[in-house]
């Protein structure tokens, strides 16, 4: 297992933002992972860092990255996946096996752990649809436990994992057989949609900035509120979709939070709707960042 100290994390994040982490671990097996979870007093667990804004101030603590946990097995229509396996690999491999249900993940940069945590979804599919059960580490009891789909408390962009007690180790899914040509057609359609609607990672970003309000679209509200004109020296709202912020090159976490608050305030002023961040802010905050994040996430939402 690789362990690195005083590690600059920004190159591992899709935003290309983030400061120095005291210590970062890259477990390669579930036993190494659970051993870390048992012996470290405090830590942050991350996957591909694709849905996070990591503080430019860094983090004075331990970070565990799951991206080396790559166990992935298909048995009939059942799929067994470790926490660090990335969505596109799962989607493609399932398609080659003639299994349908993971087509929506073809353009997701995140790992299965992150996807389950936020119940990721697109194009009418979501990760919880085909889930059978999860193997979790219980931080309260220091035990490995299993929870069924119903016990994971899935809702829109949410699951029991967000409560902080449990860490995903691996998951089991049940897919269904389908014609490979039909699966490929759906995958190609999803890729084309993503290409046209969302920025590629050559423009560093962390995906959708805000969650969709019930029965509405955050992108629509932001567009109507005129946020596409919001442009700072190192970060801007993406021209093609108002719910994305791109790093123009040397943006800091404070730059991104500043833009987020500007977007949030524009929608609140025009529609009296308070958007909720989909992006997770991680690391040690400056005083200004604490102030900005408290605007975006009032105590009642935390």
Sign of CA dihedral 283, 284, 290, 292: negative
Sign of CA dihedral 24, 37, 207, 257: negative
In angstroms and rounded to an integer, the radius of gyration of the C-alpha atoms of the chain is 19
Distance CA 117, CA 132 (A): 15
Catalytic site residues? 157, 208, 278
Q: Which of 65, 84, 68, 83 is nearest to 23 (CA)?
A: 65
Give 244's contacts (C-beta < 8 A, 6+ positions apart): 198, 199, 205, 207, 208, 209, 237, 238
Report which secondary-structure segment, H or E, holds 218: helix 218-224
Q: Strand, coil or helix: what is 258?
A: helix
Residue found by looking up tokens 């996430």 in the block:
297
Sign of CA dihedral 57, 63, 68, 73: negative
Strands (E), the chain: 2-8, 20-26, 44-46, 52-54, 59-65, 72-75, 78-82, 99-100, 121-122, 125-126, 131-138, 143-148, 166-174, 176-177, 235-237, 245-247, 280-282
């Amino acid at each position: 297992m690789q362990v690195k100290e005083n590690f600059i994390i920004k190159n591992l994040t899709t935003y290309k933002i983030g400061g120095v982490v005291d210590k970062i671990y890259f477990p390669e097996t579930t036993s190494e992972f659970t051993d870390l979870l048992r012996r470290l007093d405090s830590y942050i667990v991350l996957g591909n860092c694709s849905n996070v804004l990591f503080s430019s101030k860094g983090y004075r603590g331990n970070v565990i990255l799951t991206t080396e946990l790559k166990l992935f097995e298909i048995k009939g229509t059942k799929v067994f996946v470790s926490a660090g396996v990335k969505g596109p690999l799962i989607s493609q491999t399932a398609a080659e096996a003639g299994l349908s249900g993971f087509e929506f993940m073809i353009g997701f940069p995140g790992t299965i752990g992150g996807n389950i945590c936020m119940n990721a979804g697109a194009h009418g599919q979501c990760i919880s649809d085909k889930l059978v059960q999860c193997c979790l580490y219980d931080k309260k009891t220091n035990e490995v436990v299993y929870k069924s789909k119903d016990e994971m408390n899935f809702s829109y962009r949410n699951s029991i994992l967000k409560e902080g007690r449990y860490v995903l180790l691996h998951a089991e899914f049940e897919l269904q057989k389908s014609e490979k040509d039909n699966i490929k057609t759906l995958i190609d359609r999803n890729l084309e949609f993503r290409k046209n609607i969302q920025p590629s990672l050559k423009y560093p970003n962390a995906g959708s900035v805000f969650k969709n309000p019930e029965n509405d679209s955050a992108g629509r509200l932001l567009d109507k509120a005129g946020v596409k004109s919001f442009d700072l020296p190192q970060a801007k709202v993406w021209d093609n979709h108002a719910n994305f912020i791109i790093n123009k090159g040397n943006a800091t976490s404070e730059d991104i939070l500043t833009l987020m608050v500007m977007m949030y305030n524009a929608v609140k002023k025009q529609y009296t709707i308070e958007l909720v961040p989909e992006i997770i802010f991680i690391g040690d905050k400056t005083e200004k960042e604490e102030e900005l994040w408290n605007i975006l996430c009032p105590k009642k939402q935390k």
